[in-house]
Amino acid sequence: MIDTLAEMSWSFRCDGKTMSVGAMTIADSFKPYANKNRSSYHARDGSSSYFIKLHHWRRLKRRLQATFNRSVINKEWRMLAVAADRGLRVPQRIAFGRRQTMGLITHQAMLLEWIADKSQLLSQTQDLAKSKDHERMGAVLALLSEHLKRMREAGLADRDCGLHNLLAPDVLRVAPSLEHTVWIDLEAACEAPPDDPHATAFTVGGALNDWWTACDSSEYWFRQAISRITTCLPEPRGGWPRALRAADAIVRNQVAKMIRYGRLEHFPPPLTRALNASGSS
């Protein structure tokens, strides 16, 4: 565990200029730096707070990728700018830092806006499902669908899409809305035309996997999600049945892992069947 950024000898840059961050202190660590290649921190500089995502590259291949700006965190830094330019609410970029050894980058870090008074929509939706708060469940589903719609209309996609990467105020106090929602963790985000069937499939597959987990394996809410998403999003080339078959493979692969870990008990219905059922109900 580190106490100050100065201990890491960072060189942070912002708008082409070197930024001094040595006075910042670490308020919280989300993953232990000593044991992980990736870690996250809540840092403070007086009254200001920041989120730091840090990657430690140990293998030569990863260090070369980082040195030539092709690492995962380089990509996320760029995607944060792209998403913000296209009107999606993401954490504000503050500065990008790195450390080098013998000319190769060994560590990289992003200094981002700290999102206060918001929490993952996944855990909030799980609570709503357990309490059978159908009105707010419907509101969260509408928010998720609108987020996916805006993302795809903006020419963006995300392999790790879902409620776990959306931060929102307490839905019991504030009605769910995109205005108050922040899209985080864009490591798996990319640019793709709105009608790209492959991009739509993996984006929808990730979102539906999250939704199946959040709605306590409710087939009713799963069908509602498919109906809403296929109504809101731009139609992919080749039509929805084809895209849903590809998304179904993604969902079943992810759910299989959850079942193995004992976090879920069974699979959702096939997506095309659920779509037909929702259309006939």
CATH number for the segment(s) 119-280:
1.10.510
- Each residue of 243-262: pLDDT tens digit? 999 999 999 999 999 899 88
Token output for 157: 């996609």
- pLDDT on residue 239: 95
Tell me which of 32-36, 127-131, 154-158 is least confident. 32-36
Residue 13 has pLDDT above 80, yes or no: no
Where are the domains positioned within the chain?
5-113, 119-280
Please state, rounded to an integer, the average pLDDT across all residues of the chain.
88
- pLDDT on residue 4: 45
What value does the mean pLDDT take over residues 82-108? Answer: 93
- Please name every residue paired with 11 in a beta bridge, in sequence order, or none if there are none: 98
- Each residue of 73-83: pLDDT tens digit? 999 999 999 99
- Each residue of 103-149: pLDDT tens digit? 999 989 999 999 999 999 999 999 999 999 999 999 999 999 999 99
H or E stretch including 239? none
Looking at domain 5-113, which CATH architecture does it have? Answer: 2-Layer Sandwich (3.30)
H or E stretch including 62? helix 60-67
Whether the Cβ atoms of residue 226 and residue 275 lie closer than 8 Å to each other:
yes
Residue 20 has pLDDT above 80, yes or no: no
- Each residue of 258-276: pLDDT tens digit? 899 888 888 998 887 766 7
- Non-local (6+) Cβ contacts of 203 within 8 A are 148, 151, 152, 157, 158, 159, 161
Could you list the beta-strand ranges (E) of the chain: 11-14, 17-19, 25-29, 38-45, 48-56, 93-101, 104-113, 119-120, 156-158, 166-168, 182-183, 189-191
